[in-house]
């Protein structure tokens, strides 16, 4: 079920997953969502950066470059792509029986005139633009306000592996929940975590604090997760090179967390 506002969020939501973009949570946490639903819970997925560019907005060279993956080249194409991605997200989360809310912040490739991020190297692995720090503060305050209303809710957020700037911003905003003693579980950003074997350790070292992890056994839910991931059809080729490769990559990573033949896991990190 789609929520239309943060005002719709009530205490029934004991587990809230924060997704930078319209696929991140299903890729990283789809098995956990399935386990929660099978236990009678209703998880909520809040996707943050889902705002469309303005109809008269001039796209940055980076946005034009990224949009080529989706056969779009102008602002109207960018608007169409975002609408298509929302329909994919709706289909995937309805399939998993999770509720969802889309916030209206623009993703990084659309922010700034001229764009804050000049190329993919700045988007993935660069530093957050100084003007974007206001997003961090605004999101942080929104989350704190929700936590005050929902003190017993568990939160799930990206660890920031791969250092996509949108993931970095959301991680930083969520740190305000950690500082207030909220239950926060940081998930491993997928597919970035599997592209570089050292990416997880590099991110943990960068953060500097002490983390421990907890594992969710999701073997029975892997087919459900893969079927939900299939529904993000526009993302498969650019992220994985094809559907079969995506399934293999997801299965392989879930197996390597603990290499037992029949076990598939999702791992979450907790700041001590």
The residue behind tokens 């500097």 is: 208
Classified as helix, coil or strand, 18 is strand
Q: What is the pLDDT of residue 261?
A: 85
Helix 222-230 with 233-240: angle, nearest 10 deg? 100
> Which of the residues in the chain have pLDDT under 50?
none
Q: What is the pLDDT of residue 206?
A: 94
Task: Give dist(CA 157, CA 19) in Å, integer.
Answer: 7
The two tokens of residue 163 are 């250092």
Domain parsing of the chain, residue ranges: 2-271
DSSP class of residue 189 equals -
Classified as helix, coil or strand, 33 is helix
Torsion region of 42: left, alpha or beta (phi above 0 gives left; psi -120 to 50 gives alpha): beta
Q: What is the pLDDT of residue 185?
A: 99
Contact of 44 with 101, CB cutoff 8 Å: yes
CA distances from 199 to 167, 188, 204 (A): 14, 10, 9
Q: What is the pLDDT of residue 72?
A: 84
CATH 3.40.50.720 fits 2-271, yes or no: no
Q: How many CA atoms lie within 13 Å of 128's alpha carbon, on the beta-carbon side? A: 21
């Amino acid at each position: 079920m789609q929520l239309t506002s943060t005002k719709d969020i009530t205490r029934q939501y004991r587990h809230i997953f924060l997704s930078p973009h319209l696929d991140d949570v299903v890729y990283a946490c789809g098995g956990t969502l399935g386990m929660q639903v099978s236990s009678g819970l209703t998880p909520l997925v809040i996707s943050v950066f889902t705002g469309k560019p303005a109809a008269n907005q001039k796209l940055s060279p980076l946005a034009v470059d990224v949009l080529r993956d989706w056969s779009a080249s102008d602002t109207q194409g960018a608007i169409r792509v975002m609408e298509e991605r929302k329909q994919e997200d709706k289909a995937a989360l309805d399939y998993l029986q999770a509720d969802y809310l889309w916030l209206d912040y623009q993703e990084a490739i659309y922010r700034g005139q001229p764009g804050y991020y000049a190329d993919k190297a700045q988007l993935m692995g660069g530093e957050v633009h100084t003007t974007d720090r206001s997003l961090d503060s605004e999101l942080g305050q929104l989350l704190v306000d929700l936590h005050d209303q929902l003190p017993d809710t568990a939160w799930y957020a990206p660890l920031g592996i791969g250092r996509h700037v949108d993931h970095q911003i959301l991680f930083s905003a969520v740190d305000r929940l950690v500082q207030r003693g909220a239950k926060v579980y940081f998930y491993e950003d997928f597919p970035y975590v599997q592209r570089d074997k050292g990416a997880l350790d590099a991110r943990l070292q960068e953060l500097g604090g002490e983390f421990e992890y907890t594992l969710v056994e999701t073997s029975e839910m892997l087919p459900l997760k893969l079927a939900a991931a299939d529904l993000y059809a526009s993302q498969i080729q650019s992220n994985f090179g094809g559907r079969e490769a995506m399934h293999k990559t997801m299965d392989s990573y879930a197996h390597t967390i603990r290499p037992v033949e029949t076990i598939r896991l999702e791992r979450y990190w907790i700041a001590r």
